[in-house]
Structure formats: C-alpha cells, structure tokens
C-alpha cells in the first residue's frame, strides 16, 4: 500500500491516455492548442508496465481520461489489458461521449465498468458554444450506447458563469427525476493559459444549489453528507438519480483524497491543482527496473501536497487541464 506523509492511502490512479481531443471546451484548452508529438507520450507497452507497477503498490482503482481517451488508438485493447492486470479491481473512463456510440460495447466487453460523460448543457447552441466544436446529439447517442452496453453512468457538467449557470443546470438536474444517473456539477478550476477566464467564471456550489432549488424544490443530503469520491451528493424529492457537487475550489476535499494522476507524457502528478510532478517516462526509457520505478513512485506519493493555494493566487501554470485529465 502507498501512503503519503499525511497518512493518506493513495490507491486510485487516473491515467491520461492522450493530450489530444476532438473538442475544444472553452475552460479546458485554447482552440489553437499544439499537442505533443506521439513519441513524447507513453506508448502502449509503457502504460501496461506502469499499471502493473502501480497495481503492485496497492493501486486498485483506475480511470482513463485525456484529452479525450477514446481518440487514443487501441483504447479498447488498453482497457482490456488494464482490466486483466492482477490487483486491478475497477476500470472507469471520463469521456466527452462523442465516440461512445461505436465504442461503448467493445469497451464494456473489454472490462470497462463505468463512464463519466461530460455534458455541460442540453441546449444544442450553448453546447456548441462551450465545446466550440461539439454536437450535443452525438453525446446523447453516446449515453444511449453506454446504457445499452450496461456501463454505469455519471454525467459531468462544468459550470461557467454566463454560459450554463442558470436554466441549463436546472435542466441537467431535472434529468435525475427520470434517470438513475448521478449528475455532477464541477466548479471550474484555473489552469495555465486560460486561468483569467476560469477565475472570472467560477460559480460556487452554494449559488448553484440555490438556482436548482428555486425551480425544482428542496434537495436532501445523501449518505449523511459523506463524500462519494469527490462529490457531495443530494437528491430531489422522489428522484431515482442524485446530484453531485464537486467544489474543488471553494470546498477542497484534500483529507479524503486517494488519487494520483499519470499524465499522457508519463509524469506522476500528485495533485490536480499543484504543479509538483515526478518524471516516470525518463527512468522507464532508461531501463529502470520495476523495483526502481516503485521506489520513485513511493517517494513521489510520500510528498503528495495538501491543499491548493488558489486563495493566494498560486495557479498551476505548467499545464492546461486537457494534459492532466481532470
């Protein structure tokens, strides 16, 4: 098992399979972004090797993300191999859903259990505006395919002031009255190039809950207020689904954090909102043994930071969100 110096047991790895994406969401990346050359990214066999090393260290929950993980070549085979790795208990994915229409069933067959699908608004024009390139109908086709494939489904919406912070969040919340999904509202976080825009657009959980209850009625706390991963859960009266609020900026959940992240270029990122990273790609390519890789990972985990410093205007500048994966 891997522990950090605060006694947190770190056992959940989020792997960014690629920095590339078929959308350009305004809060995530600039439209003219330049992606890394393929040779700088972890190759399939390097991912397999690192997953085995992390599993040997007690990591049992894995989530694939991006950029957009479904645009990675061989994504189905990668999922299959991770799911078969001894010690791995669950494999999930965070995706924009655009390619799930074709991929949901093969991914489920390969061992994927759950998908978190990003959908910031149900309104087609606004969806296009937030994602710059997207068609919300493609996401719905992806959600239908994921349902048919038996995948567990959560929906993710990043809330951006003046884009989707009013009737759009109410429409999304209303979905839980008819579907057993968890619809999660994510506070926008500032990163790199797009930090100014993000900071101007943060909508707090308190404000969101007020907007939703004003139209749909009161929300009751689920699980006695205990976090589900990073989300505080609530339910509308008689709803089969739940609402999750992920408030990393205004209500950080560092005490219960069990996560580490592997960037597409092979860096171990210890906290989403802090720049600290450990290079795993270079030792891997220089012939490090599994024992040596484990020692490097364990040392990095030990120094995992606690708390973001956004209140002191310390914004992570070394990467944009699409390179870390959320």
Site residues (vs ligand SAM, CB under 6 A): 21, 27-28, 65-66, 68, 94-96, 118, 156, 158, 186, 188-189, 191, 198, 321-322, 325-326
Q: Which among 227, 302, 248 has a CA at the least distance from the CA of 8?
A: 302
Tokens matching residue 6: 């605060």
User: 173: number of CA atoms within 13 Å, CB side?
Assistant: 30
Tokens matching residue 106: 């093969």
Residue 276 binding target from ligand SF4, ligand SAM, none, CB below 5 to 8 Å by type: none
Residue 21 as a binder of ligand SF4 (CB under 6 A): the answer is yes
Among 2, 11, 52, 96, binds ligand SF4 (CB under 6 A): 96
Distance from chain centroid for Cα 103: 19
Cβ-based nearer residue to ligand SF4, 271 or 324: 324
Among 2, 101, 116, 322, binds ligand SF4 (CB under 6 A): 322
Residue 115 as a binder of ligand SF4 (CB under 6 A): the answer is no
Contact call for residues 56 and 294 (beta carbons, < 8 A): yes
CB of 131 to ligand SF4, least distance (A): 6
Residue 188 binding target from ligand SAM, ligand SF4, none, CB below 5 to 8 Å by type: ligand SAM
Q: The tokens 């120094």 sit on which residue?
A: 303
Residue 66 as a binder of ligand SF4 (CB under 6 A): the answer is yes
Tokens matching residue 269: 């990122």
Among 10, 15, 17, 23, binds ligand SF4 (CB under 6 A): 23
Among 10, 13, 17, 29, binds ligand SF4 (CB under 6 A): 29
Distances (CA, A) of 240 to 105, 133, 177, 211, 262: 25, 32, 6, 20, 34
Contact call for residues 164 and 120 (beta carbons, < 8 A): yes
Residue 189 as a binder of ligand SF4 (CB under 6 A): the answer is no
Please give the Cα distance from 196 to 286 (Å, whole number): 39
CB of 68 to ligand SF4, least distance (A): 5
Cβ-based nearer residue to ligand SAM, 97 or 241: 97
Instruction: Select the span of 5-13, 52-60, 63-71, 140-148 touching ligand SF4 (CB under 6 A).
Output: 63-71
Q: The tokens 């809330």 sit on which residue?
A: 159
Tokens matching residue 119: 């959908």
CB of 187 to ligand SAM, least distance (A): 7
| Residue 227 preceded by cis peptide, ω within 30 | no
Non-local CB neighbours of 217 within 8 Å, separated by 6+ positions: 236, 237
Residue 198 binding target from ligand SAM, ligand SF4, none, CB below 5 to 8 Å by type: ligand SAM
Residue 164 binding target from ligand SAM, ligand SF4, none, CB below 5 to 8 Å by type: none
């Amino acid at each position: 098992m891997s522990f950090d110096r605060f006694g947190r047991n770190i056992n959940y790895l989020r792997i960014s399979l690629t920095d590339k994406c078929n959308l350009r969401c305004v809060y995530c990346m600039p439209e003219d972004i330049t992606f890394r050359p393929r040779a700088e990214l972890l190759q399939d066999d390097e991912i397999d090797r690192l997953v085995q090393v992390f599993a040997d260290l007690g990591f049992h929950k894995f989530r694939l993300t991006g950029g957009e993980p479904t645009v990675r070549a061989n994504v189905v085979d990668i999922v299959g191999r991770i799911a078969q790795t001894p010690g791995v208990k669950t494999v999930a994915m965070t995706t924009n859903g655009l390619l799930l229409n074709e991929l949901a069933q093969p991914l489920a067959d390969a061992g994927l259990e759950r998908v978190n699908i990003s959908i910031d608004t149900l309104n087609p024009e606004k969806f296009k505006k937030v994602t710059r390139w997207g068609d919300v109908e493609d996401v719905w086709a992806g959600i239908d395919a994921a349902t048919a494939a038996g995948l567990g489904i959560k929906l993710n919406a990043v809330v951006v002031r003046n884009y989707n912070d009013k009737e759009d969040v109410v429409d999304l919340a209303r979905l839980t009255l008819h579907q057993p999904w968890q619809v999660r509202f994510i506070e926008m976080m500032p990163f790199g190039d797009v930090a100014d825009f993000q900071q101007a657009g943060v909508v707090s959980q308190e404000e969101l809950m007020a907007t939703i209850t004003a139209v749909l009625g009161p929300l009751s706390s689920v699980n006695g207020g205990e976090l589900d991963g990073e989300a505080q859960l609530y339910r509308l009266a008689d709803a089969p689904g739940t609402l999750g609020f992920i408030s990393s900026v205004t209500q950080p959940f560092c005490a219960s954090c069990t996560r580490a992240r592997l960037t597409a270029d092979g860096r171990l990122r210890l906290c989403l909102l802090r720049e600290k990273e450990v290079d795993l790609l270079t030792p891997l390519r220089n012939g490090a043994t599994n024992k040596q890789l484990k020692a490097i990972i364990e040392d990095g985990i030990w120094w995992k930071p606690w708390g973001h410093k956004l209140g002191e205007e310390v914004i992570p500048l070394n990467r944009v969100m699409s390179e870390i994966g959320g």
